[in-house]
A and B are shown apart, each in its own frame.
Chain A
C-alpha cells in the first residue's frame, strides 16, 4: 500500500492531539514540559514529510531549527522550574496562580 503525504499528516495530527491532551491534562509542571515536547515533535514529522513529498528542503531546515529552539527552551525552562521548586517546594500548577485577573 502506497504511503502518501496524507498518511504522515494524519499521524502528525494524532500525535499533536495527544500532545494537546497532555497539555490540558497535566497539573505537574514537569509533565507539562513533556507534553510540549510531544507537540514539537509531531510538527517536526509533518515538516519532514512535506519536505520529502514536494522535493523541498525548506521543511527539513525548519525542523532543524525547531529542534535547536526546543533544546534551548528546555534548558531555560528547567532552570526556572528549579528556582520555583527551591522557593515553594512543589511544582503543582494549581498553586501557581498569582497572575490572576
Chain B
C-alpha cells in the first residue's frame, strides 16, 4: 500500500520535473527542476531496496553533476531567455511517442519477460551495501579500476580545457622565464 502511494507520488513528481526541464525557456528553471528530478529518482532507488545506489545518486548526481552544471552556467548569461528556433513539433512528438510505445510493447512481451535468469543472485541476510561491496570488489573489480582511471582523465581534461594559460607549464619553465612572464603581465595591466 505504502509502496503504491510512494511509487505514484514520486512518479508524478519526477515526470513533472523532467517535463519542466525539457520545455522551459529559462535555463535557471531547467537546472533547478533537473536537480529536483534527480532527488526524486533516488527515492525510487530507495523504494526498490537499492540503498547504495540511491545514496550514490544523491551524492554524485544531484550533488556533483548539478554543481558542475551550475558552475558551467555561470559562464553564460542566464537571465537572457534561451531563444530557440523551433523545429517541427509534430515530428518530435510523434517520434518520441512512437518510440515509447514500441519500447513498452517490446519489454512487456512475455517472451522477453519470462526468460530472464539471475546472474549474480542476492544473498539473504546481508544488507544492500554489503552485497554491493561484495560484488563490486570481486566480480566487477576491473571495470571499477578502469572507471577510476576514466574519472582521473575526465578531471584533467576538464582542468585543461577550462583553465587559463593552460598551454604554459610552470614546473617546466626556469626561474628567469617565470619572472619575465610576471613582468609582462604587470606591464599589460599597467597599460590597459
Do A and B share a direct contact in the complex (Cβ within 8 angstroms)? yes
State the A residues within 8 Å of B (CB). 1-3, 5-11, 13-22, 24-28, 30-31, 33-35, 37-38, 41, 44-45, 48-52, 54-58, 60-61, 63-65, 67-76, 78-83, 85, 91, 94
Interface of chain B residues 9 through 66 with chain A (CB within 8 A): 11, 14-15, 18-19, 21-23, 27, 30-31, 34, 37-38, 41, 44-45, 48-50, 52-53, 56-57, 60-61, 64-65
Contacts of A63 in B (CB 8 A): 50, 53
Chain A residues, CB < 8 A from B82: 27-28, 31
A-contacting residues, B143-164, CB 8 Å: 143, 147, 150-151, 153-155, 157-158, 160-162
Q: Which residues of A contact B157 (CB under 8 A)?
A: 75-76, 79
Say yes or no: B50 contacts A54, CB within 8 Å: no
* Contact across chains for B136 and A28 when beta carbons are under 8 A apart: no
Chain B nearest Cβ from A61, distance in angstroms: 5
A-B contact pairs, 19 of them (CB 8 A): A9-B104, A13-B107, A20-B95, A24-B95, A25-B84, A38-B22, A41-B38, A44-B53, A51-B50, A56-B120, A61-B132, A65-B143, A68-B151, A70-B61, A71-B60, A72-B150, A75-B157, A76-B154, A82-B72
CA distance A37 to B22 in the complex (A): 11
Binary per-residue interface labels of chain B (85-112) against chain A in the complex, 1 for a CB within 8 Å, 0 otherwise: 1110001110111011001100110000
Flag B109-151 by CB within 8 Å of A: 1 or 0 each: 0000100111111100000000110011000100100010011
Residues of B within 8 A of A33 (CB): 69
**A6 contacts B108, CB within 8 Å?**
yes
User: How distant is A21 from chain B, measured CB to nearest CB, in Å?
Assistant: 5
CB <8 Å contact, B65 and A56: no
**Are the CB atoms of B4 and A34 closer together than 8 Å?**
no
User: A80's closest neighbor in chain B, by CB?
Assistant: B161
Is B73 on the interface with A (CB-CB < 8 A)? yes
Tell me, in angstroms, the Cα distance from A13 to B92 when the chains sit together.
16
Identify the B interface with A (CB < 8 A).
3-4, 7, 11, 14-15, 18-19, 21-23, 27, 30-31, 34, 37-38, 41, 44-45, 48-50, 52-53, 56-57, 60-61, 64-65, 68-69, 71-73, 75-76, 82, 84-87, 91-93, 95-97, 99-100, 103-104, 107-108, 113, 116-122, 131-132, 135-136, 140, 143, 147, 150-151, 153-155, 157-158, 160-162
How many contacts between A and B, using CB within 8 angstroms? 214
The residues of A that contact B151 with a CB separation of less than 8 Å are 68, 71-72
- Interface SS majority for chain A: helix
Kindly identify which residue among A6, A13, A35, A57 contacts B103, using a CB–CB cutoff of 8 Å.
A13
A75 touches B136 (CB 8 A): no
For A80, what are the chain B residues with a Cβ–Cβ distance below 8 Å? Answer: 161
